[in-house]
Amino acid sequence: MSCPIHPKPLKNKASLLFTFFIKRNSWLNGLFERSYSMKTGKVNLPGLEIVVANELPLVKNIMVDDVAKYPKNHLLHELLEPLLGDSIFTTNGCTWRKQRDLLNPAFAHARVSKVFALMKQSTDDMLKRLDKVEENSRFDMDAEMTFVTADIIFRTIMTAKLDADSAQKITAAFTRFQNQSLKISMLRMFKIPLIFSYKERQRQQAAAEIRGALEKVIRPRYDAVTRGEETESVDILSSLLLTRDPDTNERFSFKEIVDQVSMLFLAGHETSASALSWAFYLISEYPEIQQEAYKEIQTVIGDREIEAKDIKKLSLITAIFRETLRLYPPVGFMMREAAEEVTLRDKIVKIGKSVVVSPWLIHRNKDNWDRPHNFEPKRFLEEQKTPLKSKYLPFGMGQRVCIGASFAMQEAVLIIATILQRYRVEAIKGFEPQPVGRLTIRSENGIDVKLFKRKK
Ligand code: HEM
């Protein structure tokens, strides 16, 4: 069986230059065969020098043991600032610690199982939309995954339902933000001032549109808390609204709340949408595995509705999702910078220079995984017994590990099981998704499939 799609590595530096100027829509197009197996590498782009750490002990050192030496990169902060402000995703030091302490309880396991019912409301609505799709027609799973994951975030964070019109507007604005951000990062590399850039204006506008949509939901709740009318924590937004800074006893300002909610919205739906879309691409390409997953659903759930207790029993579906996260990790690279001069093997990294850890490279390195480009979900039924350490890090690792990992796993297994219980998902002959690496790894041309309702 052939491997699922991935961009062909480059042969030499001349082809890198070609790629940089012709196919510069994605960093995935700039990788060489040896990028996958190197222990460390240096990327010299105009105006930007990056050391890539691939060797597992180095990765652990950067992400876990010596984490204070490798804070989050200031470039990432600058790039995301119009949308996320000073949110937990890009802050460092005490600011980050406070934000993390505040958000941790909301994502604790018990809380995650509590939000199952809200996630289920979203998947029920998703089924209503899928039921309207004409059988045997071309259906873009990527668009649906973006909608349902955004709706789940709206409901669980803010107890608000996302209507189709707003979902479409927010998604379109976010696509514009991502596209322009990539172009802006190129301009920055060449040290071109952004003040008069049309792309920068478009990017700021897109960020303002998304923040505006979120503000509409947050504003009445914020005012209710200020007037003392909302006093109990009903969702993640209320825990943000009600909490007080232990040092100053002040509540978060409106802007600070919008920063954190924008970040949760972005980190929480863009990543899950990416991974779920790739999962359905793989499921459609491997019908035998899909059939086994269907059998698992029949054994565990049958034809009744899915309940929270079923999730952990769906081990093959969990393995399919984990293998998807290995092959297409939504966060393909994690950017840090050196807080002091450090040496990574033979490479000296000067203070302030960039260091990258790339799940995309680590997950496809043949020293870490047998047949690394193949889709073999059952490896996770075996691997679950042994710790995966730093060779598997779709959710990052160490103190900056993803706060929403269990939330995302529950959501993904629920969505995959809900769709496979009712539909057979078929690949479309001749359709090939085009993976592009931007803020997350998405398919440039969507994930087109056909849906066939299963006979009861
Ligand atoms: C499949 C889905 C997801 C993937 C693959 C994913 C991946 C990641 C990764 C790799 C990081 C670490 C980035 C770094 O160290 O530079 C991260 C951080 C984070 N993620 Fe996720 N994520 C997912 C879903 C979610 C969800 C559902 C939420 C919340 C609702 C969330 C919230 C966050 C937050 C707040 C951080 C920052 C944590 C910190 O810096 O302390 N993520 N995520």
Ligand 1 center–CA 249 separation, angstroms = 28
Q: Minimal CA–CA distance to 334: which of 407, 400, 277, 264? A: 400
- Measured CA to CA, the distance from residue 320 to residue 307 in angstroms comes to 20
Q: Minimal CA–CA distance to 28: which of 36, 188, 75, 184? A: 36
Predicted pLDDT of residue 192: 60
Q: Are strands 347-349 and 342-344 parallel, antiparallel or unpaired?
A: antiparallel
Ligand 1 center–CA 263 separation, angstroms = 10
* Atom of ligand 1 lying closest to residue 407 CA: 27
Ligand 1 center–CA 410 separation, angstroms = 14
Q: Which domains does the chain have, with CATH numbers?
A: 13-453 (1.10.630.10)
Whether residue 16 has pLDDT greater than 50: no
Nearby residues of 240 by Cβ (< 8 Å), 6 or more positions away: 102, 252, 257, 260, 261
From atom 11 of ligand 1, which residue's Cα is the shortest distance away?
Answer: 402
Q: Which amino acid is at 2?
A: S
- Measured CA to CA, the distance from residue 70 to residue 55 in angstroms comes to 16
* Atom of ligand 1 lying closest to residue 401 CA: 12
Ligand 1 center–CA 394 separation, angstroms = 9
Tokens 């079923």, residue located: 310
DSSP string, 71-113: PBPHHHHHHHHHHHSS-TTT--HHHHHHHHHHHGGGGSHHHHH
* DSSP 3-state of 51: strand
Asked if 177 and 207 count as a contact pair (C-beta separation under 8 A), the reply is yes
- Measured CA to CA, the distance from residue 365 to residue 38 in angstroms comes to 9
- Residues 143-149: what's their mean pLDDT? 95
Structure tokens at 397: 């690792």
Predicted pLDDT of residue 383: 61
Ligand 1 center–CA 402 separation, angstroms = 4
Q: Are strands 40-45 and 48-53 parallel, antiparallel or unpaired?
A: antiparallel
Structure tokens at 370: 């047998």
Q: How confident is the model at residue 188 (pLDDT cuts 50, 70, 90)?
A: low
* DSSP 3-state of 24: coil
From atom 27 of ligand 1, which residue's Cα is the shortest distance away?
Answer: 268
Q: Which amino acid is at 115?
A: V
Ligand 1 center–CA 54 separation, angstroms = 20
Asked if 222 and 241 count as a contact pair (C-beta separation under 8 A), the reply is yes
CA distances from 109 to 112, 151, 246, 313, 404 (A): 5, 21, 24, 17, 10
DSSP 140: E
* Atom of ligand 1 lying closest to residue 100 CA: 41
Per-residue pLDDT tens digits for 22-56: 455 667 777 777 888 888 888 877 667 889 999 99
* DSSP 3-state of 424: strand
Ligand 1 center–CA 323 separation, angstroms = 18
DSSP 374: S
* Atom of ligand 1 lying closest to residue 76 CA: 16
* Atom of ligand 1 lying closest to residue 330 CA: 5
Q: Which of 230-234, 261-265, 342-346 has the lowest mean pLDDT?
A: 230-234
Predicted pLDDT of residue 17: 45
Predicted pLDDT of residue 196: 57
Pocket of ligand 1 (CB under 6 A): 88-89, 100, 264, 267-268, 271-272, 275, 325, 330-331, 334, 394-396, 400, 402-404, 407-408
From atom 9 of ligand 1, which residue's Cα is the shortest distance away?
Answer: 395
- Measured CA to CA, the distance from residue 160 to residue 118 in angstroms comes to 10
What would the 3-class secondary structure string for 166-189 be? HHHHHHHHHHHHHHHHHHHHHHHH
Ligand 1 center–CA 324 separation, angstroms = 16
Ligand 1 center–CA 274 separation, angstroms = 13
Predicted pLDDT of residue 22: 45
* Atom of ligand 1 lying closest to residue 276 CA: 1
Nearby residues of 396 by Cβ (< 8 Å), 6 or more positions away: 63, 331, 334, 402
Report the range out of 63-72, 80-89, 182-191, 381-390 with the highest average pLDDT. Answer: 63-72
- Residues 69-78: what's their mean pLDDT? 91
What value does the mean pLDDT of the chain take?
A: 88
Ligand 1 center–CA 89 separation, angstroms = 8
- Residues 261-287: what's their mean pLDDT? 95
Structure tokens at 119: 């996630």
* Atom of ligand 1 lying closest to residue 412 CA: 1
DSSP 28: G
From atom 21 of ligand 1, which residue's Cα is the shortest distance away?
Answer: 402
Ligand 1 center–CA 364 separation, angstroms = 21
- Measured CA to CA, the distance from residue 409 to residue 396 in angstroms comes to 14
For a ligand 1 pocket test, name from 240, 402, 409, 413 the mutation site with the most ligand atoms within 8 angstroms of its C-beta.
402
Whether residue 408 has pLDDT greater than 70: yes
Asked if 58 and 353 count as a contact pair (C-beta separation under 8 A), the reply is no
Element at 56 (helix H, strand E): helix 56-60
Regarding predicted confidence, which is higher, 3 or 451? 451
Structure tokens at 396: 């990052």
- Measured CA to CA, the distance from residue 285 to residue 295 in angstroms comes to 17
CA distances from 101 to 59, 81, 105, 135, 245 (A): 25, 22, 8, 48, 11
Ligand 1 center–CA 52 separation, angstroms = 20
From atom 18 of ligand 1, which residue's Cα is the shortest distance away?
Answer: 402
Predicted pLDDT of residue 38: 86
Structure tokens at 344: 């990574």
For a ligand 1 pocket test, name from 63, 263, 271 the mutation site with the most ligand atoms within 8 angstroms of its C-beta.
271
DSSP 251: B
From atom 1 of ligand 1, which residue's Cα is the shortest distance away?
Answer: 272
